[in-house]
Amino acid sequence: MKKSFERFWSMFYARNMEFLRDRSSLTWSFVFPFFLLFGFSFVFNRDKPPDAVKIAVTGPAAQSWQTRIDGLPQVQAVVIADAAEARDKLAHHKLDLVLDTAQQPPVYQISETAPKGYQAEQLVIRVLERKALGNRAPPAVFTRQSLRGTEVPYLDWFFPGMLGMNIMFGSVFGVSYVTVRYRKNGVLKRLGATPLKPFEYLSAQLASRMFLLMFTTAVIFTGSMLMFGFQVRGSWLALILLFFWGAASLIALGILAAARTESEELVGGVLNMTTWPMMFVSEVWFSLEGSPAWIQQVAQIFPLTHLITGARKVMNDGASLTDVSHHLLILIAMTLVFLSISSALFRWTKR
């Protein structure tokens, strides 16, 4: 057992060194997430007016507050007499913040699902609070109320899908090409002539890939959170576990495709035929709500579906670890099944 771990570690270490020293693939893997992030922000930001947040003021003191707020930089404020109407517009993301002056202290509302809610809060409320301090006027005090959005904006819905897609492409191809190349050029043949076992070799490949993927995912995740103000409404632990086991199952799928294949073209073809359908039925881009039931059923056999569905439940709907535990269990089971089949089918040599 101890020796088995040592052999695993030896392979894990060698693979990491190899990866870290291969400048081109290293650069690509680490730069790609930033490209993706950049493209992402470009696509989703270009139609929007630069940064102005929209505020509505209601209640008896609406007029005077509106003047004060409208004067702030990057803010546009309007008076809406009907408080219910203002709240409705907030829920539908036509407004970023509503200030109700009917109560003392005034109450402001933001929508948690609106990416700009947080920005509006910073630009208006925090500024007003600070100004009051600077003028030695009696401090402006506000009460915060958040409005649970009835609808999740597309961008928030898409984000977990994009992360899942990135994990999928980063998993299946990288790990399978390396193994096929090693089989073709005899590295595997040499390794197979030692006491190393297929399972040890394969899990080292998995672990090494995981290491890289968790890094790139963390980069994209953090960058997107900062740029778009996404929120994780549910359990962070559940989300991390979902990403981890989602990546593990997808890497294991790549390993399975490379278990005895001898040509990069073949393994590339097989994986393209797997990943593209998987991408569509796993709802990366579009919801399959309303599509035939059998499609939704077929989708359940793909690890990506469980990764994305689970991550959406956690991020968008505030799910807890127990709420998504079945997705996690399925991902863990898939990982183990794929790895076991790969170990059984595995060949060190060419035919």
Task: Spell out, one character per residue from 157 to 196, where the chain touches another protein: x when CB under 8 A holds, - when not.
Answer: ----------------------------xxx-xxxxxxxx
Q: How many C-beta neighbours within 10 Å does residue 224 have?
A: 20
One DSSP character per residue, 142-205 reads -EEEEE--SS--HHHHHHHHHHHHHHHHHHHHHHHHHHHHHHHHTHHHHHHTSS--HHHHHHHH
In the complex, what is the shortest distance from the CB of residue 27 to another protein, in angstroms, rounded to a whole number? 14
**Number of residues engaging another protein in binding (CB under 8 A):** 26
In the complex, what is the shortest distance from the CB of residue 2 to another protein, in angstroms, rounded to a whole number? 10
In the complex, what is the shortest distance from the CB of residue 202 to another protein, in angstroms, rounded to a whole number? 15
User: What one-letter code names the amino acid at 306?
Assistant: H
198 binds another protein (CB under 8 A): no
Q: For residues 100 and 87, what is the distance between their CA atoms, to the nearest angstrom?
A: 10
Q: For residues 258 and 134, what is the distance between their CA atoms, to the nearest angstrom?
A: 66
Using the contact rule CB under 8 A, the part of the chain among 3-11, 76-84, 221-229, 261-269 near another protein is: 3-11
**Cα separations (Å) of 18 from 208, 245, 247?**
10, 24, 21
In the complex with another protein, the residue whose CB is nearer, 53 or 178, is 178
Tokens 């088995």 correspond to what residue?
Answer: 4
Lookup: tokens for 110: 């933001």
Sole binder of another protein in the list 18, 85, 151, 317 (CB under 8 A):
18
Asked if 278 and 304 count as a contact pair (C-beta separation under 8 A), the reply is yes
Lookup: tokens for 339: 């790895």
Using the contact rule CB under 8 A, the part of the chain among 5-13, 75-83, 142-150, 242-250 near another protein is: 5-13
3 binds another protein (CB under 8 A): yes
Q: For residues 223 and 229, what is the distance between their CA atoms, to the nearest angstrom?
A: 10
In the complex with another protein, the residue whose CB is nearer, 101 or 343, is 343
46 binds another protein (CB under 8 A): no
73 binds another protein (CB under 8 A): no
Binding positions for another protein, 205-224, rule CB under 8 A = none
291: left (phi over 0), alpha (psi -120 to 50) or beta: beta
21 binds another protein (CB under 8 A): yes
Task: Spell out, one character per residue from 102 to 141, where the chain touches another protein: x when CB under 8 A holds, - when not.
Answer: ----------------------------------------
17 binds another protein (CB under 8 A): yes
Q: Which residues bind another protein (CB under 8 A)?
A: 3, 6-7, 9-11, 13-15, 17-18, 21-22, 185-187, 189-196, 348-349
